[in-house]
Amino acid sequence: MTQLTTIEASFLEAEDADRHVSMAIGAVAVIDGPLPGRDELISALSQRLGAVPRLTQLVHKHALEVAAPEWVDDSNFDITHHLRWAAVPRPGDDPALFRTVADIMERRLDRDHPLWECWVIEGLPEARWAILIKIHHCIADGIAAMHMLADVFDSGAGTTFATEIRAAKEEPAPKATSSPLRLNPLSWPGLLWRTSQTAANIVSQTTRGATQFTLNLLTPAAGSSLHGSVANMRRYSAARVSLKDVKTISQVFGVTLNDVALAAMTDSFRAVLIHRGEKPQRNSLRTLVPVSVRPPDAMDRTDIRVSAMLPYLPVEQGDPVKRLRLVHARLNTLKESGERQAASTFVKVSSYVPFMLSAWTIRLLARLPQRSVVTLATNVPGPRQRLQLLGRPVEMLLPVPPIAMHLRTVVSMLSYADELAFGITADYDATPDVDELARGIELGVARLLARALAHKRPAAKRIEA
């Protein structure tokens, strides 16, 4: 039996602390082509999903939580318990699909069985249908869940944006040569000095980052309708933009793709606040931005490996380009401050705390009305190639994040082939304008693209002259 890590178990504890919360993450694949026969689909999904060990295991919790929960094999595992069918109401358009997705995701997974479901959704127009994979967050983070989802399809995960990004960042492996300590004893003092200085710098940066991260968690954001208690029901919506357009904006203004995505999201939150009659302030939108610390050789492992940053996204800035540059600057400041490393250190240190104390602390924090974090924005790099299921092309992939801890709206981003999708989950009562939030993201990218193209044209004219 394998124990859950503290961060994995924390998603179970957060769910236990609030009866209105379901900590399942999901992804929707809309597929073009006739729906296969039920027997054919069950056979294919059984073979592909049943091969993932975590999907055939239960969570076993100890009495009084004297130790962390453990993964145990389900001796009565039956995959047909996890395969479900649903139909969207007419006319079967995107709003109808999104309502069905929200209805499915708001219900908790049954802990008497392995913590996942696979829903086949019928009733979409133009001979299309969808699959919704629903997995408890204690099983996997976004990248691991994306690999699990990709394994459902004909070609598997293949090359993803995550593997490409990680490979580009990896330093070349050192050559197998003799240690300098053995080769030249005269170099020992200098080597030891440089090593000690490097270690001291890392410790100093992490300490500063830990201090800043803690202060951010303790400092409340400006009061707004964006955070507060949540009820049982959910709303879901999605935005889709061209990845080529996002790359163009990134290249013209010298920022990252994630900066562009966050700036478009910020634009939309600003518009929503104004429409609600609230003034966007500098401290209105502190956002939890998870950062993957998953090494290249662990992309397909079902576990959770994340750190985090807590930037204020600049909803107070009305100009799209200035807003983009502010997003870039604030994220860079946090990266240099050591906040990301500090958050990762917190996660590692938590594994040494007695689980009973960790569980009690998590449940207490989940019950408290935290006011420091307003939303969460996670970016999951998806497959670069178009996928197929039983020979039928996957038209789009949409992420579905959970909401909890007084976050009424959460955004997840997922790249797929030539597209970047934003999945938005929101509290049903507090966020009736979730579709406007999705449209605002698309409009935010369009505004930045228009400015980027206008920025390029004068340069092109100078070259022609």
What integer is the mean pLDDT of 81-109? Answer: 96
pLDDT computed for residue 66 by the predictor: 83
Mean pLDDT, the chain, integer: 84
Residue 155 pLDDT more than 50? Answer: yes
pLDDT computed for residue 20 by the predictor: 94
pLDDT computed for residue 348 by the predictor: 62
Residue 240 pLDDT more than 70? Answer: yes
pLDDT computed for residue 301 by the predictor: 66
Q: How much is the pTM?
A: 0.84
36 vs 50: CA distance, rounded Å: 19
139 vs 54: CA distance, rounded Å: 7
Residues of the chain with CATH 3.30.559.30: 202-379+409-464
Amino acid identity for residue 329 in this structure: A
Q: Angle, to 10 degrees, between the axis of helix 339-350 and the axis of helix 320-337?
A: 50
pLDDT computed for residue 340 by the predictor: 59
Q: What is 233-261 written as a DSSP string?
A: -EEEEEEEEEHHHHHHHHHHHT--HHHHH
Structural tokens at position 465: 């002259």
What integer is the mean pLDDT of 297-323? Answer: 82
Catalytic residue (choose from 82, 136, 137, 328) = 137
Residue 345 pLDDT more than 90? Answer: no
Please, which pLDDT band fits residue 324 given cuts at 50, 70 and 90?
very high
Instruction: State pLDDT tens for residues 33-56.
Output: 999 999 999 999 888 887 788 999
pLDDT computed for residue 172 by the predictor: 40
What integer is the mean pLDDT of 390-415? Answer: 95
Alpha-carbon distances of 43 from 37, 40, 132, 390, 393, rounded to whole Å: 10, 5, 17, 11, 19
412 vs 228: CA distance, rounded Å: 20
Residues of the chain with CATH 3.30.559.10: 2-157
137 is catalytic: yes
Alpha-carbon distances of 138 from 52, 114, 150, 395, rounded to whole Å: 15, 11, 19, 29
pLDDT computed for residue 297 by the predictor: 63
Q: When comparing pLDDT for 371 and 342, which is higher?
A: 371
Please, which pLDDT band fits residue 370 given cuts at 50, 70 and 90?
confident
What integer is the mean pLDDT of 347-376? Answer: 75
Q: What superfamily in CATH does domain 2-157 come from? A: Chloramphenicol acetyltransferase-like domain (3.30.559.10)
Residue 436 pLDDT more than 90? Answer: yes
What integer is the mean pLDDT of 256-261? Answer: 97
Please, which pLDDT band fits residue 368 given cuts at 50, 70 and 90?
confident
b (16+ CB within 10 A) / e for 210-233:
bebbeebeeeebbebebbeebeee
SS3 380: strand
pLDDT computed for residue 115 by the predictor: 97
Q: What superfamily in CATH does domain 202-379+409-464 come from? A: Nonribosomal peptide synthetase, condensation domain (3.30.559.30)
pLDDT computed for residue 119 by the predictor: 96
Instruction: State pLDDT tens for residues 410-434.
Output: 999 999 999 999 999 999 999 999 9
Percent of the chain predicted with pLDDT > 90: 59
Q: When comparing pLDDT for 341 and 218, which is higher?
A: 218
Residue 169 pLDDT more than 60? Answer: no
Instruction: State pLDDT tens for residues 187-224.
Output: 545 545 455 554 444 444 445 555 565 666 668 888 89
pLDDT computed for residue 35 by the predictor: 95
161 vs 385: CA distance, rounded Å: 10
Q: When comparing pLDDT for 37 and 463, which is higher?
A: 37
